């Protein structure tokens, strides 16, 4: 009996020694941590220095057709523009509605750093169908916290409709936006206005991936003429 007890005790002691050594118990005994060797970065020499404008879009896919009601016209051509930055660093606010969309120097207006807005007064409240904005398409860059709002109130206090907002973390205080950021191309960004009736269009941005400034080459607002 004593010999049997001694044998059991020795067996249990042996098991106790083995179990911690295995590191796992029960059903994981025959398993081990999978060690994944992740690939290291590849070394490569100095990359290309880019200083000159490049008019090529980098995504390469043209935007598909956008359908609007019959009779839709460009409402914003030559309309007055105001902005949060009263004295643009480069260019004039009138560039925004002058119909010239070239990506070269001399066609864009540069507003100061941080959150800035520009506002177009369409003259009359009209059903809006599409708003297309070109910030700066001579270089692949992304503008921060782009938001497009419309209203009949020139101070954007009452009756404000937000058509587009990609401020994902609400750093600009316009509320968390769910729209995706995009890379600037010569096609501009088309925002569906969904027929909302408004007289004023306000566009926000807060710098871009290349610098903290804000730029506009052109903004086009399409809609049905006011009756």
Judged by the rule CB under 8 A, the positions of this chain that interact with other proteins are 38-51, 54, 58-59, 90, 105, 139-142, 144, 168-171, 176, 180-181, 183, 208-211
Residue 26, Ramachandran bin (φ over 0: left; ψ between -120 and 50: alpha; else beta): left
The pairing of strands 147-151 and 161-165 is antiparallel
**Residue 44 Cβ vs other proteins, minimum distance, rounded to whole Å:** 4
Smaller CB distance to other proteins: residue 31 or 51?
51
Smaller CB distance to other proteins: residue 44 or 158?
44
61-70 long-range contacts (CB < 8 A, ≥24 apart) are 62/187, 63/187, 63/190, 66/130, 66/190, 66/192, 68/129, 68/130, 68/222, 69/129, 69/195, 69/224
* Backbone φ and ψ of 28, nearest 5°: -90, 5
DSSP code at position 71: T
**Residue 212 Cβ vs other proteins, minimum distance, rounded to whole Å:** 8
**Residue 12 Cβ vs other proteins, minimum distance, rounded to whole Å:** 37
Smaller CB distance to other proteins: residue 168 or 197?
168
Smaller CB distance to other proteins: residue 27 or 49?
49
**Residue 34 Cβ vs other proteins, minimum distance, rounded to whole Å:** 12
């Amino acid at each position: 009996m004593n010999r049997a007890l001694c044998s059991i005790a020795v067996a249990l002691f042996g098991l106790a020694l083995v179990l911690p050594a295995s590191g796992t118990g029960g059903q994981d005994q025959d398993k081990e941590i999978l060690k994944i060797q992740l690939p290291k970065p590849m070394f490569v020499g100095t990359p290309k220095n880019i200083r000159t404008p490049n008019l090529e879009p980098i995504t390469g896919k043209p935007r598909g057709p956008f359908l609007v009601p019959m009779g839709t016209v460009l409402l914003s051509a030559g309309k007055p523009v105001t902005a949060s930055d009263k004295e643009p660093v480069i260019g004039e606010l009138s560039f925004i509605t002058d119909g010239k969309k070239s990506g070269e120097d001399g066609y864009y207006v540069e507003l100061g750093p941080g959150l800035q807005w520009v506002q177009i007064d369409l003259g009359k409240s009209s059903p809006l169908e599409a708003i297309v904005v070109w910030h700066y398409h001579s270089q692949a860059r992304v503008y921060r916290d782009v938001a497009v709002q419309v209203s009949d109130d020139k101070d954007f206090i009452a009756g404000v409709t937000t058509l587009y907002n990609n401020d994902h973390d609400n750093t600009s205080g316009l509320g968390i936006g769910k729209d995706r950021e995009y890379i600037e191309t010569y096609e501009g960004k088309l925002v569906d206005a969904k027929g909302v009736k408004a007289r004023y269009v306000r566009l926000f941005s807060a710098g871009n991936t290349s610098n903290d400034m804000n730029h506009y080459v052109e903004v086009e607002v399409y809609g049905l003429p006011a009756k």
